[in-house]
Structure 1
Amino acid sequence: MVDAPERAFPRALVAALALSAMLSPLNSTMLSVVLTPIGREFDTGDAYLTQLLVTSYLITSIVMQAPGGKLGDRLGHRHALGLGQLAFLLGSLGAFIAPSENWLGLARVVMASGGALIVPSASALLRLELPPDKRGRAFGMFGSAMALSAAIGPPLGGFIAGHFGWRATFLVNLAVLPVAAGLARVGHSLHGPSPSLRGFRFDGVGSLLLGAALTAVVVGARLEGALRWGTLAAGGAGVMAFYVWERRHPEPVVDLSLLTRPVFVAGGMVVALQNLAMYALLFELPIMLGKLDRPEPVDPGPLLGALMVSMVVASPIAGRLADHFGARPIAVSGCLSTLAGLGVLFVTPVDQTTRLIPGLVCLGLGLGLSSSPSQASAMTASPRESSGVAGALLATLRYLGGVLGIVLLGLVLHDDATGAVAAHDHTSALTCFGVALVGALGCALVLPGKAPPTTGTATRV
């Protein structure tokens, strides 16, 4: 490895990584609006398609993160990124020409596997290619792109499917990936010496144990009653078995020493706890609005849009601020903003929809302000040689935060609740969100403050 001279902010590199990584959440949310036409063409019910195309994509995305990050650490992140882009491209092509629903499901799994290579490799390259005083800005732009892609997925998918058919939604990937690959070459930063796979012993057992445990957690979150808790308990037992195995393996799929680094753990927990509150709210608010006694249903789109747009706008700003003032003050300010926004939601009746918007804007700004400094700090705290695994762990924590939020909703919401019972459910849900956000605030206090000025340089991979 050689030191690279200090250079201007690598816009082409960041754009290449953001464009590649944003396809994973985009293809998760975009599919939700085209299940019905897919089912109509293949004469398949929505329930089966949801499991085949949505749940399998989510599980694969989560389960493959750690192996994908480990492969990047050993193969080289630029090569892992290229493999991920190729897998996503082939999966998208397979989905476009799919002759059956099962073929389409397999193509989606290939796409998710590609995304699980892309996301940790992109995070690792941002950590390795940029000096510390530019990482906040880069992770801010990266996070903004990821959030934006998730938000525009449903309207974009609906527009494309409505005008050109559901198969055309996969052409978006075929158009974006070559652009991302071209920008990566323009950036030049992706060229350099690579780690070697020589002597590498892939931790297959650890990968299977982790995959089984995470699958049990995700599936358990979607079940009910005793079956839910039994499946979640099996997932917990799987995590313990994975931990015991990893401590003994010479090449563990997850570098457990990351869990002994306070800044990494704190940054990851800020991301996880805030995702718990955000994703659960994205489901809870439309449910509550649907229970209002009104002649016409209330459209939750403008309310959720206020939340997401605020987050997208704040994220790159937060990165710049964190580069100048340190991660801790910006992340703490963001956490306080989320609590203030939640407080507005707490005291505002859900039927007064216009009065909810300021609280949602405040909440979105807080999420955007705290996310990128937390992620940048966590990645900076990770060892260089484990940057891919670190990025994978952060992505896994982000996913699991959302899954846990759905579990909590299942505990506090009642399907047939109306009137005072529904209002009580809403208050209970907001209380759970508040506890999570207070926990995120405590973790944000562990993040580093302003670093002393450096003349350091980025180091090539």
Structure 2
Amino acid sequence: MADPGVGRGLFAARLTASLMPLNSTMIAVAVPSIAHQFHHSSATVTQALVATYLIAAIALQSPGGKLGDRIGHWRVFALGQGAIGLGAVLGFLAPSLAVLATSRILMATGGALVVPATVALLRVELPPEQRGRAFGSFGATMAFAAALGPILGGVLVDAFGWEAVFLANVPVLAVSAILAASVQHVRTPSGTAAFDWPGSALLTAGLVLVVLGAQQKNADAWPLLAVGAVLLCGFGWWEGRAGDPVVAFDLFRSLPFTAGTLLIGLQNLVMYALLFELPLVLENRFDLKARETGQLLIFLMVAMVLLSLVAGRLTDRLGPRPLAVTGSAVCLAGILVMLRSDLHHSGDVRLPLALLGVGLGLSGPAAQTASLSAIDAARSGMAAGVSSTMRYLGGVAGIALLGRLVDLHGSRAEVLHEHHTVVAVFTGVLVVGLACALALPGPAARATSTPVEQVPVSPEA
């Protein structure tokens, strides 16, 4: 990196990006207090503040990434910082649940700008031999933030009230803005066609309806899913004709990009579904409280964070495939151990969760490095947006699949049977993930592309 300020800027980008998973999980512990203050049920507050955040985050990732290709990733990063900050202040001052929901949508919009911009900047600003380490650090930071959210949220709510969950974003954003201030704004050369607003609108509306439909368990789901599917088909038709599409489908002609992106989505499907399913199973069988369940789930999170840091460096040395295959195989071993367990003791989940954490930590940086390095730097924002969208869609698909496979409210024997059914499905998902890992580049095919020359842009441009 020629500019020493870029190193500080990339740290600032990772710091700001970590606010997205942090805010996603930190809000959970504030829901009861918010429900009490605004006289709504916890279910209503959860839909207003959690579901809307997730939907906005999913729907806006790809347009956010494409915008970075058009006007520069540092500029989009700054816009995202502003949106998160505005949403945080609005949430702190919110006089009603409607205003609070608006603040959450603003924060999710900012996150949907920041996360693809950060991933693209790691791709564009760093040479190939440093990307694995950077993506490993990025993955560890995001996982740590997600795990820290409920703990930090509990401390803040108990000490200062639910408003502190929103205000806590402000000092982080201030530090990040100071660190990134020395970075020269740059813009990669882009096409002259107008930004693809119709494609962005079709994609956003289609994803919103599909995600809403996936969250329904009754007949109301099918109209939402059907209309969403029609809009997404319309999006595909339009993108083939757009001058500068928000998602160019020729990205998927690259086997490393497709396999790496799909691997990330499939592993997220399993991880997020288990994070929702296991607490219910453990409560049913052993009457575990949330704190005790959290102490078991920490085996997955700690292993994933630590191995992400190691895997990034190894990916730079060995190439993506060895790490992705090893990690996918360890994930599969963990889920098979869980499948064979009859859960006689709550501690029976420690080993499979630790194995899953190790596997996810090993394979995640490798998949991210392979998928982003396979795409030319001028389209890194688009690629990062698609990858981030798949990551979140994997989580939504896992939770939706869980809702359709199990009830988890029967007898202990019935719940155990349902748990084994879910884990058997996850086994199949991870087998497909292993096949994707095998399609990634090996040691002899490490990323050799270099960032395209960037054009400095004056502040007035």
Q: Residues 94-173 of structure 1: matches in 2 within 5 Å?
A: 94-173=90-169
Identify which of 166, 180, 186 aligns with 1:184: 180
1:110, CA displacement in angstroms? Answer: 1.0
Q: Secondary structure at the match of 1:225?
A: coil
Distance in 2 between residues matched to 1:454 and 1:432, nearest whole Å: 34
1:38 maps to which residue? 34
Contact preservation (8 Å) 1:288, 1:350: no
The 3 A distance-change label for structure 1 pair 329 and 453 is closer
Amino acid corresponding to residue 112 of structure 1 in structure 2: A
1:14, CA displacement in angstroms? Answer: 3.5
Does residue 415 of structure 2 align to residue 422 of structure 1?
Answer: yes
Amino acid corresponding to residue 178 of structure 1 in structure 2: A
Distance in 1 between residues matched to 2:76 and 2:418, nearest whole Å: 45
Amino acid corresponding to residue 426 of structure 1 in structure 2: H
Q: Residues 226-265 of structure 1: matches in 2 within 5 Å?
A: 226-265=219-258
Distance in 2 between residues matched to 1:453 and 1:202, nearest whole Å: 33
1:454, CA displacement in angstroms? Answer: 9.3
Contact preservation (8 Å) 2:280, 2:408: no
Q: Secondary structure at the match of 1:226?
A: coil
2:433 maps to which residue? 440
1:307 maps to which residue? 300
Contact preservation (8 Å) 1:129, 1:460: no
Identify which of 77, 81, 91 aligns with 2:77: 81
2:53 maps to which residue? 57
The 3 A distance-change label for structure 1 pair 302 and 351 is farther
Deviates more, 1:164-173 or 1:199-208: 199-208
Identify which of 67, 70, 88 aligns with 1:71: 67
The 3 A distance-change label for structure 1 pair 12 and 196 is same
Amino acid corresponding to residue 168 of structure 2 in structure 1: V
2:369 maps to which residue? 376
1:8, CA displacement in angstroms? Answer: 9.1
Q: Secondary structure at the match of 1:202?
A: coil
1:224 maps to which residue? 217
2:261 maps to which residue? 268
Contact preservation (8 Å) 2:14, 2:141: yes
Distance in 2 between residues matched to 1:196 and 1:297, nearest whole Å: 51
Distance in 1 between residues matched to 2:79 and 2:64, nearest whole Å: 10
Alpha-carbon RMSD:
2.2
Contact preservation (8 Å) 1:14, 1:138: no
Residue-by-residue CA offset, 1:266-312 (whole Å, 9 max, x unaligned): 00011000000000011111111121165988831112111111111
What number of residue pairs does the alignment pair up?
Answer: 454
Distance in 1 between residues matched to 2:34 and 2:344, nearest whole Å: 35
Residue-by-residue CA offset, 1:135-170 (whole Å, 9 max, x unaligned): 000000001111111111011101101001111112
Amino acid corresponding to residue 94 of structure 1 in structure 2: L
Residue-by-residue CA offset, 1:333-371 (whole Å, 9 max, x unaligned): 000110111121112222422122111111101001000
Residue-by-residue CA offset, 1:245-264 (whole Å, 9 max, x unaligned): 11011121112111111110
Distance in 2 between residues matched to 1:146 and 1:140, nearest whole Å: 10
Amino acid corresponding to residue 379 of structure 2 in structure 1: S
What is the percentage of aligned positions where both structures have the same residue? 44
The 3 A distance-change label for structure 1 pair 295 and 248 is closer
Contact preservation (8 Å) 1:130, 1:459: no
Does residue 47 of structure 2 align to residue 47 of structure 1?
Answer: no
Deviates more, 1:35-44 or 1:393-402: 35-44
Q: Residues 268-417 of structure 1: matches in 2 within 5 Å?
A: 268-292=261-285, 294=287, 299-417=292-410
1:214, CA displacement in angstroms? Answer: 0.7
Amino acid corresponding to residue 429 of structure 1 in structure 2: V
1:232, CA displacement in angstroms? Answer: 2.5
Distance in 1 between residues matched to 2:38 and 2:453, nearest whole Å: 49
